[in-house]
Amino acid sequence: MSQYRVAVVGVGMVGTELVRVLRQRNFPCSKLQILARRARTETIDGNSYEVLPTTAEAFSDIDIALFAGTEGEKGASQLYGWEAVRRGAIVVDNGADFRLEPNVPLVVPEVNADALKSHQGFIANPNCSTIQMVVALAPLHRAAGIKRIVVSTFQAVSGTGSQAVEELKSQIADVPAGRKPKVEAYPHQIFNNVIPQIGGEHKDYPGYTSEEVKMIVETRKIIGDQDIQVSATCVRVPILNAHSESINVELNKKLSLAQVKEILASAPGVKVIDDLRSSKYPLAMIADGRDDVFVGRIRKDPSCENAFDLWCVADNIRKGAALNAVQIAEKMIEMGLIKK
């Protein structure tokens, strides 16, 4: 197998997980270089890595550049993404800046790997919440077509980055002790609370936040159907890691409950845990650190013909970011789209 020179841009939560996933999956690297704002040495899982400053020249001998996005070097792909492409690298970007550009494929390998065939050197990694939802719903779309999706998310603080994780941990200690909590990552205290706002209000969707609009527009692009109606409510919850979603999906064609369960159970990247009588269903603590998208609480919606409810959980830092990016690179190698 060919070996590839790989750069990971950003060494925050997602960048660290990118390095971890590359090693765990034995990605064919002849070189692994971490780039960030400043030079230093970082230790990840007991291994030391030299971190170099991100410059245009740093991409001159790189085959694959994985940009960690806003949880890594914010703005790095805007500054260096297309420059890396010009210097010969394939870019996979976890940031949101180029996801809706018509010349940039937005890819979840289990769903729309064929979109990679039209790449121009730059591929976008979708939003974390969108990724897990489309992994679960795309198999149903292929079988019966999706008419409408109504989703409510329950998103862990790791989606905001390491500062938010530490803030929640500090609030867990401070609030019960009567100390005034630090509130910086969010507009309100997150411990013992839920915050129905992720992002600011979107200019084109009054009353909707930027995170909610990502789920609307990205879902349509990934599945390849602009007629799918999507409504999303995105909520931050005091969970350290792994996002949960309550999804109602209305299909164009009739499927039985048994057919829906069979389709999901055989879908790539999906693990079904669905035994309500035994209190077995997906939990955030189960998904934490795992690769799969977990689906359960699958049931027929009695209020709407051809509609079903389900509960979906995934590790937002792994499948929602780092793992999906690495899987994109792996799929491109498998499809012969990265030449060595």
Nearest to 13, CA basis, from 173, 159, 225: 159
Q: Tokens 């994780």 identify what position? A: 165
Banded model confidence at residue 185, pLDDT cuts 50, 70, 90: very high
Please write the tens of the pLDDT for every residue from 87-132. Answer: 999 999 999 999 999 999 999 999 999 999 999 999 999 999 999 9
Banded model confidence at residue 69, pLDDT cuts 50, 70, 90: confident
Q: Tokens 């940009």 identify what position? A: 67
Nearest to 88, CA basis, from 126, 67, 59, 108: 59
- Name, in order, each residue with C-beta under 8 angstroms of 177's C-beta and a sequence gap of 6 or more: none
3-class SS letters over 181-210: CCCCCCCCCCCCCCECCCCCEECCEEEEEH
Please write the tens of the pLDDT for every residue from 247-304. Answer: 999 999 999 999 999 999 999 999 999 999 999 999 999 999 999 999 999 999 999 9
Strands (E), 257-303: 270-272, 293-300
How confident is the model at residue 340, as a pLDDT? 75
What does the block give as tokens for 158?
Answer: 């790791």
Domains, the chain, with CATH or none: 4-125+321-334 (3.40.50.720), 130-316 (3.30.360.10)
Amino acid at 334: E
- Secondary structure percentages of the chain, helix, strand, coil, to 5: 35, 30, 35
Q: How far apart are CA 67 and CA 80, in angstroms?
A: 10
Task: Give the total residue count for the chain.
Answer: 340
Positions annotated as catalytic residues are 128, 243
